[in-house]
Structure 1
Amino acid sequence: MTLTVFTGGTIILEAEREGHTHLSEAIAFSGDRVIAIGDNAARLAHQDGAEIIDLAGGALAPAIGEGHAHPVLGGLEAVGPNVRDAADLDGILAAVADWKQRHPEAEWLVGASYDATFAPGGVFRAEWLDAVTGDTPTILRAWDYHTAWVNSAALAAGGITAATADPPLGRYVRDADGTPTGTLQEAAANDFIANVVPPFALDDRVAAVEAATREYAAQGTTWVQDAWVEPTDVETYVEAARADRLHARVNLAFRANPATWRDQLGGFVALREEIRTLGHDRLSAETIKFFVDGVIESHTAVLAEPYADRPGERGLPNWDEAELIAAARDFDLAGFQLHIHAIGDDANRIALDTIAAVNDNPANAGTPARERAHVIAHVAMLAPDQINRFAELGVIANFEPYWAQCDAVMRDLTIPHIGHDREGWQYLIGSVLRSGATVSFGSDWPVTTKDWRPAFSTAITRHSHLEPGAEAWLPDERVSAGAALSAYTAGIAKQALAPERGALRVGMIADAVWLAADPLTADPNTVPDIAVLGTWLAGERTH
């Protein structure tokens, strides 16, 4: 086995949720494990055949984890028109027109992900796309991935007219006379994509996963939670694993359907067993995903009190509460971890109530004890009286810290929808940490950047690193650099059900990232510019 010794920089052995960090000056890996630290590691550098890595004044830290993302969706964005980089509506249309001109043979045009702030209220019209797509059916997904924009040919392909009823748990945004505008929300968008839009070819999907995990490795990430997996996605991941095209570990979360979850249960158990039998150390499927609600920007997040700008609406709940509890209990009994999307304050209350009911399930009596590590993801809007429940219930709060800033979306859509009286209930990372709960961090890529470095900066500053002198938004919710690193390492290890990862202690798995500077001591505004010089997954260098 190769012996690798790291010296010449700061070795961050562990970051704790309270912000405390443990450091060393040397560390040694052999095979997939850490075998020595400090002077013991330095002495091993003299052994014959040892590989010596001089950190050149940089830092070696436990590898980064990704607590919530969508690698297939993100990777496939490169297959369609590049609308993400557009600066305005005209830019989106120009990108679509250019792609269509270069692909005249395409029977459908499928792309992502556009900025919903480019149209009033996030409502985009079919005729705008018609002008550049003609009669080629076209669908673009918004960056929230809860909304889609289609042209008239796509509406026709889906049989959507003024007489078409909204699907359960979805909404066709309409003009006053009932005519669909071309904007589809929640199930209206997702069902359209599943049932009408032709799927991407398997080769394209596998290439997307490979590209995504290679990019994760290049930024020091070794574990990713794919937070929305359909049964049809399993073939993609299995093929990628068999072909050794996974460059980071990926855990799959199967989406539970409110209407068919009882029928799904046995199938998901079988798919989990298929992946366990495959025995690939970079692929697992231990998790079930529940969408409690949608997003604030589309008025589909579930609030306890009505939206400020729509007094009669409280959002679009995806589940009856009793049915959600029944489903969560059954999937928990089947040994799955729960991963619950909750954006609105009432959605977070519902998610916490659900996990409380799972914890108190009489059917658990006599079952073997196990680490459950159930997760509530996003925790975007949390009523103050719910903060302590994460620690009380043993729930992991998975935040996407890049969102914890007052950017254009927050200023132009989110705050006007919920009102200034509830503005301060958002992304309460500091409060949840102080309550004693476990916090993990993620990106929700491709909703926002997969790069952990700008998100790390935002968690500390509560503003964009591009505005280093900006005023912190909700400054009491800032966290220390050590706490932020812990959320990406120890917090992720707990979420991943991987107690041997998340720190660089003797005997633990050798997952590490080599950074050109120490993120614990650097100006947080400069962390996004720190180069990643190397990544190790179980002792194997992946970047």
Structure 2
Amino acid sequence: MNTQQQRSTLFHGGTVWPGKGLGDTHALLVRDGLIAALGTDAVQQAKDIDHEAIDLDGGFLMPGFGEGHSHPIHGGLENYGPKLVGLASVEAIVAEVRRYAEENPDEEWIQGVAYNGSLAEGGLFDARWLDEGVSDRPVVLRGWDGHTLWCNSEALRRASITKDTPEPEMGEIPRRADGEPLGVLREWGALDLMAAVCPPPAFEVRLNALATALDMFSSFGITWAQESWAELDNYKVYIEAARRGLLKVRMNIALIADPRHFPGSLQEMLAAREEVRALNHPNLTFNTIKFFADGVIENETASLLDPYCTVEHHGMRIWEPAELSKAVAAVRAEGFQPYIHAIGDDAVRISLDAMEHSAHFTDAAAARPVVTHVQLASDKDLARFAELGVVANMQPLWAQLDALMTVLTIPRLGRERADTQYKTRTLAESGARLAFGSDWPASSADPREGIAIAASRTTTDGDPDGGWVPEQIIGIEDALDIYTRGTAFQGFADAHPAPWGTLAPGHSADLVWLGQDPRTAAPAELPGNPVIATYLAGQATYANDNVNEYVNDSDHEGQPSHVAQ
């Protein structure tokens, strides 16, 4: 390509952070979507070519953040239906459901997502509370954990869930003293009873929800994300988004392996992968199969080695160990990356056992297995991550004494066991590969908030002083490294012709420009560090209102065409 035809941009006037241990510099040159040079070399090369010059104004340019565990379609649906996020009481939720129903009289089903599960004792919400808001139409609300539904009486009636309904396989129906269903459904088997009658959001609604989510990701500086729970009918939403040019974030899809349908569903997964590959879109891959080893502690369905303090059982295994090992081997044999949800210490153990039993599959994605969450794990099993080459994908925002922890989690585990959760630093020092994600909409997708918690283990109010389990605190630069290089490794960036996750010549210009150097701030200040702009392969996918103030037009004619307006 002729030099004059290439799009070239010189970033200067601030700190350029290529990655941990790579040394700060002061300039970066992008040519046709790739990093051409850094530092003095960047400035020298720019002198000989037509280019845009962007003054960082003392800001901080770094690799784009990765989002190693998220549910963009589900999260984007927060903007459709009742607005439940941030509501702090049952009464507020009921009032919002009533408001939405009155403003949308033609909607047969009222559906909403991400209500706060800590607002009712034990997470047990009553159908009759929702009836006070809407009783003549079914209401179905998904909890922030993604494992729980709260339904009104009409929704239970439509699903034929009564006192005579048996407990479903891999699910739970909490009941009143007389045996009638309370209004909460927990885990797959119970949720499926409602899904059988409750229509999913329309395709265009899901597509718009995805586009909204990716806009949000870009505004947070995210340039790669893992879709961690795509049903077979949702992978087509990603394909359509790619065709319409909506994928402003690199996305990797994970389809769900349900033990009730596997291995029969494997052929559908293979066909879906071929459809994604045939599209050949640079921002869309399908490399991963997601397994659930257990549920969540808040529902007492996470699988524990020792029983819960509140009930005399150990939780729920979604897969029995032998079947999980067999299924993981089957997907690795097909070249998929296995990705296992494991919350409890028993679930982590059987997940690692499955990885160990299938470790002979070393081709392509199969060689990069992931266990996500790792909320509880024995020290013996934590050491196995490095030994087996298993990526630990963790959610740093969860390592704090918020309402979810104090109201729902600690009472079920007891204080002593609760203080062994989220051993981020132990894993990092063991040599294990770490990646960070949010599990949005279960928690905020903003990496700045995740870094703040990882580097402090305190709430936004600074509680407790010195941090919860402070020996597990990691440094801000370490957290930046996990959010960039760590997630890039999980996402196979190193196998891409133009890698991302660090800044080096030949790498894709996937960048985030922050207002200040985050390494010099107190953790509590990090969420307020502004994202000035985000770039994917050199193209601006997000720019705040003031970004044009930083563009120096002296080296080129007119407004830079790739700066988002």
- TM-score bin (small chain): over 0.9
Q: Are 1:21 and 1:482, in contact at CA under 8 Å, matched by a contact in 2?
A: no
Measure, in 1, the Cα distance between the counterparts of 2:381 and 2:267.
34
- 1:225-244 maps to which residues of 2 (within 5 A)? 225-244=226-245
User: How far 1:470 moved relative to its partner?
Assistant: 3.2
> Corresponding residue for 2:380?
385
- 1:142-541 maps to which residues of 2 (within 5 A)? 142-310=143-311, 312-360=312-360, 364=361, 372-467=367-462, 470-499=465-494, 500-541=499-540
Q: Are 1:275 and 1:283, in contact at CA under 8 Å, matched by a contact in 2?
A: yes
User: How far 1:408 moved relative to its partner?
Assistant: 1.4
Tell me the amino acid that sits aligned with residue 132 of structure 2. Answer: A
> Corresponding residue for 1:121?
122
Q: Are 1:28 and 1:37, in contact at CA under 8 Å, matched by a contact in 2?
A: yes
User: How far 1:77 moved relative to its partner?
Assistant: 1.5
Flag the 1:193–1:489 CA change in 2: closer, same or farther, 3 A. farther
Q: Are 2:455 and 2:479, in contact at CA under 8 Å, matched by a contact in 1?
A: yes
User: How far 1:188 moved relative to its partner?
Assistant: 3.9
Q: Are 1:465 and 1:526, in contact at CA under 8 Å, matched by a contact in 2?
A: no
Q: Are 2:458 and 2:464, in contact at CA under 8 Å, matched by a contact in 1?
A: no
Q: Are 1:391 and 1:438, in contact at CA under 8 Å, matched by a contact in 2?
A: yes
In structure 1, which of residues 10, 17, 21 is the aligned counterpart of residue 15 of structure 2?
10
Measure, in 1, the Cα distance between the counterparts of 2:194 and 2:62.
40
User: How far 1:260 moved relative to its partner?
Assistant: 1.1
Measure, in 1, the Cα distance between the counterparts of 2:210 and 2:486.
24
Flag the 1:279–1:44 CA change in 2: closer, same or farther, 3 A. same
Q: Are 1:454 and 1:465, in contact at CA under 8 Å, matched by a contact in 2?
A: no
Q: Are 1:337 and 1:373, in contact at CA under 8 Å, matched by a contact in 2?
A: yes
Measure, in 2, the Cα distance between the counterparts of 1:189 and 1:446.
21
User: How far 1:305 moved relative to its partner?
Assistant: 0.7
> Corresponding residue for 1:70?
71
Flag the 1:468–1:175 CA change in 2: closer, same or farther, 3 A. closer
| SS of residue paired to 1:25 | strand
Flag the 1:196–1:34 CA change in 2: closer, same or farther, 3 A. same
Tell me the amino acid that sits aligned with residue 170 of structure 2. Answer: L
Q: Are 2:335 and 2:366, in contact at CA under 8 Å, matched by a contact in 1?
A: no
Flag the 1:79–1:368 CA change in 2: closer, same or farther, 3 A. closer
Among the aligned pairs, what percent are the same residue? 41
Q: Are 2:438 and 2:444, in contact at CA under 8 Å, matched by a contact in 1?
A: yes
Question: Which runs of 5 or more structure 1 residues have no equivalent in the other structure?
Answer: none
User: How far 1:458 moved relative to its partner?
Assistant: 0.4
Give CA-to-partner distance per residue, 1:311-332, whole Å, 9 cap, x none: x211011011111110000000
| SS of residue paired to 1:172 | coil
Measure, in 1, the Cα distance between the counterparts of 2:464 and 2:300.
32
Give CA-to-partner distance per residue, 1:504-530, whole Å, 9 cap, x none: 011111111000001122222111001
User: How far 1:47 moved relative to its partner?
Assistant: 3.3
Q: Are 1:371 and 1:497, in contact at CA under 8 Å, matched by a contact in 2?
A: no
Measure, in 2, the Cα distance between the counterparts of 1:529 and 1:480.
18
| SS of residue paired to 1:222 | strand
User: How far 1:83 moved relative to its partner?
Assistant: 1.4
Measure, in 1, the Cα distance between the counterparts of 2:447 and 2:194.
29
Bigger shift: 297-306 or 176-185? 176-185
Measure, in 1, the Cα distance between the counterparts of 2:463 and 2:180.
46
- 1:80-119 maps to which residues of 2 (within 5 A)? 80-119=81-120
User: How far 1:471 moved relative to its partner?
Assistant: 3.3
Q: Are 2:7 and 2:33, in contact at CA under 8 Å, matched by a contact in 1?
A: no
Q: Are 1:93 and 1:132, in contact at CA under 8 Å, matched by a contact in 2?
A: yes
Q: Are 2:368 and 2:490, in contact at CA under 8 Å, matched by a contact in 1?
A: yes
Q: Are 2:438 and 2:445, in contact at CA under 8 Å, matched by a contact in 1?
A: yes
> Corresponding residue for 2:562?
none
Tell me the amino acid that sits aligned with residue 161 of structure 1. Answer: T
Question: Which runs of 5 or more structure 2 residues have no equivalent in the other structure?
Answer: 1-5, 543-565
**TM-align CA RMSD:** 1.4
Flag the 1:46–1:252 CA change in 2: closer, same or farther, 3 A. same
TM-score with structure 1 setting the length:
0.96
Runs ≥4 residues deviating over 4 A: 367-371
User: How far 1:261 moved relative to its partner?
Assistant: 1.1
Q: Are 2:289 and 2:339, in contact at CA under 8 Å, matched by a contact in 1?
A: yes
User: How far 1:467 moved relative to its partner?
Assistant: 2.4
User: How far 1:45 moved relative to its partner?
Assistant: 3.2
Q: Are 2:336 and 2:365, in contact at CA under 8 Å, matched by a contact in 1?
A: no
